[in-house]
Amino acid sequence: MSALQARDGLRRVTVAQGETQVSSERDVVLTTVLGSCVAACFYDPVAQIGGINHYLLADGTASDPASMQRYGVYAMEVLINAMLTMGAARSRLRARIFGGATMREGFRDIGGANIAFARTFLRNERIALVGEDVGGTRARRVEFRAAVGLARCRSVVDAAPPVIAVRKPPPPPAAVGDVEFF
Amino acid sequence: MAKTIMTVDDSPSMRMLLRVALTDLGYSVVEAEDGVHALEKLDGFQPDLLITDINMPRMDGFGLISEVRGQGRRSLPILVLTTESSDEKKQRARDAGATGWIVKPFHPEKLAAAIRRVLH
């Protein structure tokens, strides 16, 4: 993650694959570039708190759907918990999802799997999906003004497909899955 | 007879993942969606193990553990399953009376080993 102060007075915070960022500051724009990955933008309009994650559930060789599900639920829960800690309410959350492009022809549809997970998760959790720009074959740049709930997504037409399209999911934090007895 | 595990998590997706993993291991599963709901289900009922999240509405995991221990249920093993990993929160859970702490996303084999350790 890095922050840049732009000429428009807004601070842009880059969110990398595997990261989560939340904000209630009106001059902050959370931004990320997506290939096959999906980013979920959550917003609580009452608390005026927003957050974004950026996940990739599988690479081209993954064959364990249960593992995908566990990691995906984890990625969403980290975002939701971060927002609740700042004062958001789960019942007020609205979601938009972006990304999930097919970046390589003939390659297993990783993007589609990432999109399907997000939709299923939101339906099961009863979180309203109020907008999406997903699928296709082009990379996207998402800019999310978290504190006001405004998300802008545009195609990255002049860029090579991001290497993240074929990268393995980032390793979860070192402690993940660890058991500690008291 | 299958041992019974109560899972407490406000996320239906997480409860579903746990239900699948635990039933595959041969356990019977009872679910609650937060601490208050868990206490309602625990009234007159004694599972063999309680697995609880920390961040939940109405009553969080710390409150649930304190209430359960306050009812005199000293022998009921309680495992915390959470995205949190801070020492401060682990200490709070320990002080409340938790038996152990597992960091999400859970690893099925590690979860199974932890359950075996507290149940057998």
CATH number at residue B56: 3.40.50.2300
- Closest partner CB to A177 (pick from B14, B16, B103): B103
Distance CA B7, CA B16 (A): 10
Note whether residue B47 is domain-resident.
yes
What residue numbers bound the domain in which B74 lies? 4-106
What's the pLDDT tens digit per position in A19-68? 999 999 999 999 999 999 999 999 999 999 999 999 988 655 555 777 88
B83: contact with A, CB 8 A cutoff: yes
Asked whether residue B116 is assigned to any structural domain, the reply reads: no
Residue A174 has a pLDDT of 55
Higher pLDDT, B61 or B120: B61
What is the torsion angle, in degrees rounded to the nearest 10, for the CA atoms of residue A13, residue A17, residue A20 and residue A24? 20
Tell me whether residue B78 is in a domain. yes
ipTM: 0.87
Question: What CATH number belongs to A2-157?
Answer: 3.30.1330.200
The answer to whether position B95 is within a domain reads yes
- Find chain B residues with C-beta within 8 A of A80's C-beta: 11
Considering the domain boundaries, does residue B46 fall inside one?
yes
Number of domains in chain B: 1
> Does B70 fall in a domain?
yes
Alpha helices (H) in B1-120, listed in sequence order: 12-24, 35-42, 61-70, 87-96, 108-119
Residue linked to tokens 């993007």: A111
A179 interaction partners in chain B (CB closer than 8 Å): 79, 100-102, 110-111, 113-114
Instruction: State residue A7's pLDDT score.
Output: 67
Bin A106: left if φ > 0, else alpha if -120 < ψ < 50, else beta: left
Query: Would you kindly state where each structural domain of chain A is located, as residue ranges?
Result: 2-157
| Residue of B9, B13, B101 to mutate when probing chain A, most A C-beta within 10 A | B13
In a domain, B97, yes or no: yes
- Of A105-114, B14-23, B48-57, B85-94, minimum mean pLDDT range: A105-114
Indicate the residue of B11, B83, B113 with minimum beta-carbon distance to A125: B11
Q: Is B85 an 8 Å CB contact of chain A?
A: yes
Residue of B nearest to A181 (CA): B100
Question: What's residue A172's pLDDT?
Answer: 57
